[in-house]
Amino acid sequence: METFEIKVAGKPIRARSGETVIHALWNAGMPELIKTGCVGGVCGACTVTVRSPNGKINGTDLACMCPVEEGMEVFPCSVDAVPTIASEPNPSADKLRVAYPTLDRCTKCGSCTASCPMSIPVMDSVLRMRSDQLNEVADDFTTCINCGLCRFVCEDGVLPHVMGMWVRRSIGSSRESAKNNTLEVASEQIELEWKYLLDGDSTLRMKHAQQFRENGEIES
Amino acid sequence: MDWAKDSLERLESTREERLSSKPPKLSTGEAEKLLYEYHPDYSGMQRSIRVGPNASNEKFPHELADILEADSQLPLDFEPSTDVETDVLILGGGGAGAATAIALEGAGFNVHLATKLRLGDSNTVMAEGGIQASLGKGDSARRHFADAYVGGHGENGSSLLRVLCENSADTIHWLGKLGCMLDRNEDGTFRLRSGGGTSIPRVLACKDYTGLEIMRVLKDAVLLSSTQTLEEHAAIELLDDGEGQVTGAVLWDRNKGGLITVSARAVILATGGSGQLRFQGFPTSNHLGAMGDGLVLAYRQGCKLVNADSHQYHPSGTAYPESMAGQLVTESIRSAGAQVVNAQGERFTGEMVLRDTLAAAIIREVSENRGVKTHSGRVGVWLDTPLIDLKNGNGTIRRQFPGIVHRFERYKIDLAKQPILIYPTLHYQNGGIQIDEDGRTEVKGLWASGEVTGGIHGTNRLMGNSLLDITVFGQRAAKSVQNNLPSRRPVTLTRLREFREKLKGLHGRKAILSPQLFPALTGMKISFEKKTEPLENNFSSTSSFSLDPPDPFSQ
């Protein structure tokens, strides 16, 4: 297997082609260099910056999702959590401004979008927050893992990730409960069905459960 | 994927025909035979254990048996002396722990939540497919029960399962109030999908990020509550009063080093599963910390484990690229139309059979040389994802499964155009600590909720029932604690001392300590030595000097 050198936090380690930075660290006996959580790209613990010698990759990433490349340099950059703010019913741009006055600081440099490991159009979404297109914002942030890299790179102290979550929670909690159809069943019938499923020995219970699956009713 | 060119061509040549084909039928008898012959739970790589409440009865995977028979990480001379006093101590920062903390808010208790990693770094956040709730036309809690009971091979604890099913609608409502956005149809009703073993569409989802959506909402709710969160504090041992009541825990502060004794009137174990024990060398879809810690801690206190020999090998774990090995590919991608196909381009079973059956069928295909081998030596079968757009229109897979599309894109694999290679991955701990309908363990002062518990799902869990489990039983444990909070009792290591005595007579044990906290292959070290504060930290804490540039917007 092809191996080559990469540097993590300035320390040279051997890495095997095809593995991620996290796996290379485990193999090199330096697992603690980068904070690690899910190892599946969704918890946002292992945020790093990456520099590659040929200038191809230069930016931020999740170490658990980042394949090693010869000569690359990786720098841990843990992002501290930002205190969260309670959601508001029927959110609007103005309510968001009250919760997060940083909204209007954005100077449209686009660093946040470039930094996002989930390819969320962060800056565009911040502009949508300003212009009250909050449903679109909620949609943009569907895949946000709250790693905080967008905040980390922001020169202006905007907090896009927590604002995105605030918008989602606010919209989510203001939605009407869904009116899905469930059968209106008399309580005696419900008790009868539970009795049918729960009484008897294990063979009978299994038989009844299998039957009940067919149409959700007791066989007449 | 040029290395698999031949097999891919065969797959493509049969696609047209498969599009409208019916999957091969499997009788109950054939499914049972398949499980017995090929499912890892029946491979014989299990043994009984010689100590504790499950001694000499059931069998456990070797890796789990080893840690249950292992000695504690605690130094022999450690004496507990209370550092933190709280009413309720929750151990675990995933969905179950968070749901418990939120449900305890307002009860007037002092609540601490300790987690080995950070709040939310858990299997919950990695769950993709969805959460079950009987909200469809013609559905009911009874039908949900019947599906899960058949799916669990009748090994489920009936009363636990009934509680799970009866509380699904309320739980979805609760999550909605907290701000969860689950996918809806245009008429405002929830979109319901089928899962393997559901007899009617019952799975609600947020794209293929359902766990992430639920976890980040729960996490924010915990952060907004009065719960005191202790991140990167791993539970090393439970404490008891010397008379059989659990009274707290010893935590290891991973950042500062050192052990902390927490005295609590109630302890709730929500430490999750054990996929990182990687039974029989299987890869896993679990997070770094899923090491079965809670099983070990509870077992030493005398808690019985149920169905602890049963684990879920999710049929669709990634087998290529190598760096993604074991990562989950949601079941709902099969529900949306992706077929499972062997190296010859043939479907060999229905895609929506029970997870254990499909996993066994894939292992059979591979062991009978109808699988595909990667250059890293992994094996698998194809998941023919392009069928989804063929069936439902271009852009469907990208719209409904942005997570999976995103992860494979990095390796220039476009799921709309080419299939992916899958092989079963260790996914879920079906069994665990025995609890009652209120999350109580057999030991006074100790509750448990979520994946660490056993009985609800029998020996095979259905898709979408674990996110429901953590939210339903997380809340129920909280309610039960609230109504039955014991008074404060002394903290001792009596149970551990007794356990250590019993270990003395056991020969041939592995020279390991448990809970192990982190997978051996990571090489992460456990040291209880207090770390010395770095100079910079002292510096910044004693002066207001900051290297950050002044904030131009302040004032």
Residue of A nearest to B207 (CA): A142
CA atoms A202, A208, A209, A210: torsion sign = positive
* Contact between chains at B140 and A215 (C-beta distance less than 8 A): no
Classified by CATH at the fold level, domain A3-76 comes out as Ubiquitin-like (UB roll) (3.10.20)
Task: Give catalytic status of residue B314 as yes or no.
Answer: yes
* Contact between chains at B176 and A172 (C-beta distance less than 8 A): yes
The contacts of residue B501 (CB under 8 Å, 6+ apart) are: none
Residue with the two structure tokens 């709280």? B86
Which tokens in the block code for residue A58?
Answer: 């230069």
B156 SS3 class: coil
Q: Residues B438-463: what's their mean pLDDT? A: 98
Give the tens place of pLDDT for each residue, A69-109.
999 999 999 998 889 999 999 999 999 999 999 999 999 99
Contacts of A186 in chain B (CB under 8 A): none
Contacts of A18 in chain B (CB under 8 A): 321-323, 376
Residue of B nearest to A157 (CA): B551
Q: A52 pLDDT exceeds 90?
A: no
Largest pairwise CA distance in chain B: 74
- Neighbouring-strand partners of residue B379: B373
Give the pTM: 0.96
Torsion angle, alpha carbons of B143, B145, B147, B148, to 10: 160
Tell me the DSSP string of B406-473: HHHHTTT--TTTS-EEEEEEEEEE--EEE--TTSB-SSBTEEE-GGGEESSSTTSPPTTHHHHHHHHH
Residue of A nearest to B148 (CA): A209
> What pLDDT sits at residue B542?
43
* Contact between chains at A42 and B410 (C-beta distance less than 8 A): no
Q: Which residue out of B162, B202, B314, B427 is catalytically annotated?
A: B314
Distance, C-alpha A17 to centroid of its chain? 27
List chain B domain ranges.
Answer: 2-38+313-426, 71-310+430-483
Neighbours of B224 (CB within 10 A): 17
Residue with the two structure tokens 């019916």? B22
Cα–Cα distances (Å) from A75 to A14, A31, B136, B315, in that order, read: 16, 14, 49, 36
Residue pair A161/A144 in contact by the 8 Å Cβ criterion = yes
Query: Number of A:B CB contacts under 8 A?
Result: 199
DSSP code of A133?
-
Q: Is B436 exposed, middle or buried (0-12, 13-18, 19+ CB in 10 A)?
A: middle
| ipTM confidence | 0.96
* Contact between chains at B288 and A36 (C-beta distance less than 8 A): yes
Q: Residues B493-505: what's their mean pLDDT? A: 96
* Contact between chains at A67 and B410 (C-beta distance less than 8 A): yes
Q: A22 pLDDT exceeds 50?
A: yes
Give the tens place of pLDDT for each residue, A5-15.
999 999 999 99
Cα–Cα distances (Å) from A171 to A88, A168, A186, B178, B369, in that order, read: 8, 5, 35, 10, 52
The model's confidence at residue B551, banded by pLDDT at 50, 70 and 90, is low
Residue with the two structure tokens 């010395």? B532
Task: Give catalytic status of residue B370 as yes or no.
Answer: no
- Which CATH code fits B2-38+313-426? 3.90.700.10
Residue pair B474/B95 in contact by the 8 Å Cβ criterion = yes
Neighbours of B347 (CB within 10 A): 18
Residues B71-310+430-483, CATH architecture: 3-Layer(bba) Sandwich (3.50)
> What pLDDT sits at residue A6?
97
* Contact between chains at B217 and A183 (C-beta distance less than 8 A): no
- What CA–CA distance (Å, rounded) separates B528 from B531? 9
Q: Which residue out of B162, B254, B287, B334 is catalytically annotated?
A: B334
The model's confidence at residue A54, banded by pLDDT at 50, 70 and 90, is confident
CA atoms B454, B455, B458, B464: torsion sign = negative
CA-based nearest distance A23→chain B, Å: 8
Q: Between B140, B178, B209, which is nearest A173 by CB?
A: B178
Distance, C-alpha A31 to centroid of its chain? 23
* Best of A47, A69, A180 to mutate (most B CBs within 10 Å, chain B): A180
Q: Between A36, A38, A212, which is nearest B142 by CB?
A: A212
- What CA–CA distance (Å, rounded) separates B518 from B292? 10
Residue of B nearest to A63 (CA): B323
Q: What is the mean pLDDT of chain A?
A: 94
CA atoms A163, A169, A174, A175: torsion sign = positive
What is the H or E stretch that residue A13 is in?
Answer: strand A11-16
Contacts of B521 in chain A (CB under 8 A): 26
Contacts of B199 in chain A (CB under 8 A): 213-214, 216
Torsion angle, alpha carbons of B90, B94, B96, B97, to 10: 20
> What pLDDT sits at residue B543?
45
List chain A domain ranges.
Answer: 3-76, 93-174, 181-220
Q: B546 pLDDT exceeds 70?
A: no
The contacts of residue B286 (CB under 8 Å, 6+ apart) are: B123, B126, B273, B274, B275, B276, B426, B427
CA-based nearest distance A115→chain B, Å: 15
- Neighbouring-strand partners of residue B91: B114, B269
Residue A210, CB-side half-sphere exposure with 13 Å CA sphere? 9
Q: What's the full length of chain A, in residues?
A: 220
CA-based nearest distance B345→chain A, Å: 27
Smallest Cα–Cα separation from B297: which of B275, B279, B270? Answer: B270
Q: Between A105, A146, A170, which is nearest B179 by CB?
A: A170
Contacts of B201 in chain A (CB under 8 A): none
Q: What's the full length of chain B, in residues?
A: 555
> What pLDDT sits at residue B67?
97
Q: Residues A209-213: what's their mean pLDDT? A: 97
Which tokens in the block code for residue B4?
Answer: 């698999």
